[in-house]
Amino acid sequence: SVFTKSFVEPPMSQAPKWIVKYKEKRAPFAVEKWYPILQDHTFHTEVVALTPEHALAIVAYHRQRFLGHDMLKATDCKVLYGLRDDIHNCIESSRGFKDNGVFVRLSNRSPKDGIPLTTRLKQAYLKELDKLCDEGKEVWKREDPNTIAVAAFTAKAKMLRARTADAAMNLLLTSSRVYTDLLVALESHGIPTRTQFEASNPNGKELDVSEKKSEMKTDWSTNVLIREWNP
């Protein structure tokens, strides 16, 4: 993760002023904005609604797994299983999704740095390396750093194809890109993470997300996008 275990999140009142402006500048480039215009010229895409509750649960999971914070609660797990079911239903609703697999992403960025559910990355890398070297082109040499890099990148890119909701969820939950984008989304809408809320409420009061949602000045605009994989 881009954050270390020593990372201390600031209270909401001390959050950087540029967060909302940064979110606003990225909004026009969200897939939901351009897809209706270009849908006849790009891959089939469906939107799976992502709520602030989903975002908080993903943040809690990421922090517990990678930062050593004891943040994940039973309610978070229930929310994540619900998101998993929504993604599963979306994949099952499309023949193209089921036959070709999908590329999962958020509105603005994708989990390119996520951990694939499969453990066969090394085998996939060696297969790509063999394929390059078997082409017989002088540019591809097994010990050449550029050849190694191309094979590794190609193998990792293909690992982003998700054929199941579990595979898609694993990419989302383990991606630092997703984690940081959701922190920005929550911050821009004035919704504190559990760390921020507990820091300002030491009396043990529970975070009421519905109350914070009612105070949002703009609509929540971060979603999960399921796109048909194009090999």
* H-only helix segments in 69-144: 74-92, 95-100, 121-134
Residue 106 bridge partners (DSSP):
224
Q: Where are the alpha helices (DSSP H) in 18-119?
A: 18-26, 31-38, 52-62, 74-92, 95-100
Q: How confident is the model at residue 175 (pLDDT cuts 50, 70, 90)?
A: very high
Classify residue 162 by its DSSP letter.
Answer: B
Task: Please tell me the pTM assigned to this model.
Answer: 0.84
How much is the mean pLDDT over the chain?
A: 86
Mean pLDDT of 177-195: 88
Q: Which residue has the tokens 């703009």?
A: 218
Q: Do residues 62 and 115 lie in contact, with contact meaning Cβ atoms separated by under 8 Å? A: no
The yes-or-no verdict on residue 10 having pLDDT over 60 is no
Q: What is the pLDDT of residue 11?
A: 44
The per-residue pLDDT for 18 is: 63
Residue 64: C-alpha distances to residues 11, 57, 105, 193 (Å): 20, 11, 22, 13
**Residue 171: what residue type?**
L
Q: Which two tokens stand for residue 104?
A: 């999962």
Q: For residues 171 and 112, what is the distance between their CA atoms, to the nearest angstrom? A: 8
Better-scored residue on pLDDT, 124 or 211: 124
For the cut 60, the answer to whether the pLDDT of residue 145 exceeds it is yes
Lookup: tokens for 90: 């979306």
pLDDT at residue 8 above 70?
A: no
In the sheet that holds 45-48, the strands lie side by side as 45-48, 224-228, 102-106
Name the band, by pLDDT with cuts 50, 70 and 90, for residue 169.
Answer: very high
Does residue 210 surpass a pLDDT of 90?
no
pLDDT at 6 over 70: no
pLDDT (0 to 100) of residue 215:
78
**The predicted structure's pLDDT at residue 17:** 59
Specify the 3-state DSSP secondary structure of 208. coil
The whole-number average pLDDT for the span 151-173 is 95
Residue 77 to residue 32: CA distance in whole angstroms: 27
Token pair belonging to 221: 């605009």
Per the CB < 8 A criterion, the answer to whether 71 and 194 are in contact is yes
pLDDT tens for residues 96-140? 999 999 999 999 999 999 999 877 889 999 999 999 999 878 889
Percent of the chain with pLDDT over 90: 61
Instruction: Return the sign of the alpha-carbon dihedral for residues 61, 53, 219, 40.
Output: positive
User: Higher-confidence residue: 213 or 145?
Assistant: 145
- pLDDT tens-digit map of 15-71: 455 666 777 788 888 999 999 999 999 999 999 999 999 999 999 999 999 988 878
**φ, ψ dihedrals at 76, nearest 5°:** -65, -45
Task: Determine whether 83 is exposed, middle or buried from the number of CB atoms within 10 Å of its CB (0-12, 13-18, 19+).
Answer: buried
| Statement: residue 14 has pLDDT above 50 | no
CA distance 125 to 168: 21
* Beta pairing partners, 226: 46, 104
